[in-house]
Copies of this chain bind each other. A is one copy, B any other.
Amino acid sequence: MRPLTIIPVHGVPEVRPDDALAPLLADAAAAQDTPLLDGDCLVVTQKIVSKAEGRLVELDPDDIAARHRLVESESVRIVRRRGDLVISETKHGFICANAGIDLSNVARGQAALLPDDPDRSARRIRDGIAGKAGIDVGVIVSDTFGRTWRRGVTDVAIGSAGLVPVLDLRGTTDSYGRELQVTEVAVVDELAAAADLVMGKATGIPVAVIRGADEAWFGWGGVVADVVRHPTEDLFR
């Protein structure tokens, strides 16, 4: 294994509906002297993807009832409720707080919804960068989720392109030559978490480049198909 570098991309301009993200992100990376390279992973926060895709709705932040209606309309199932907190399942199958609806880093009076199809969003960015610069990168769309039994949030992948979301190590042996017990590593989630370390919630840096990625991480698949746990495997419905 070799070192991995996580590079925050500064200077990304305010994103508006119908902006093409690929040139915007590639230009911002180039402008800070870290032009994208083949084999980079680009982690892009959901917020700017939702903005570019026009997934913004009007919402009075003080109107709790309107907020709850919006969460319900973006959910296929309410999993738990306590006070103001709603844990629900989105149409993508993500189980998260408030159906992923977010009021931070958007204008007052607006709320950002999750992208319709975050894997497709990631593919578009990847294809756009390949088309513009002929550069082959992996792309992750990341969002911030809570965890069942651990305090604090971490970033996870809600979409990916050009990457193997869950690395299958079946048949691999450990340093003692024995078959590994733990065989499926959610690489895209570890990459999203790593990227969040240089983005910060307050600074609003929406993109990070991960350089030095392992070849084994590149391939095909999507977060919705490969990471979302199938209901039949779910022990906590």
Contacts and interface: CB of A to CB of B under 8 A. Distances in A.
Interface in A96-120: 102-108
Interface residues of A, number: 73
Nearest to A157: B150
Contact of A154 (B4, B144, B193): B193
Q: Report copies per complex.
A: 2
A235 B151 contact: no
A23 to B, nearest CB: 22
Contacts of A20: none
A87 B182 contact: no
B186 A153 contact: yes
Main secondary structure of the interface of A (DSSP, over half): loop
Contact of A4 (B102, B187, B198, B229): B198
Contacts of A154: 185-186, 189-190, 193
A31 to B, nearest CB: 16
Contacts of A69: none
A22 interface: no
Nearest to A236: B148
Interface string A147-174: 1111111111000000001110100111
B234 A149 contact: yes
B203 A1 contact: yes
Interface of A: 1-8, 80, 82, 87, 94-95, 102-108, 144, 147-156, 165-167, 169, 172-176, 178, 180-187, 189-191, 193-194, 196-205, 214, 226-229, 233-236
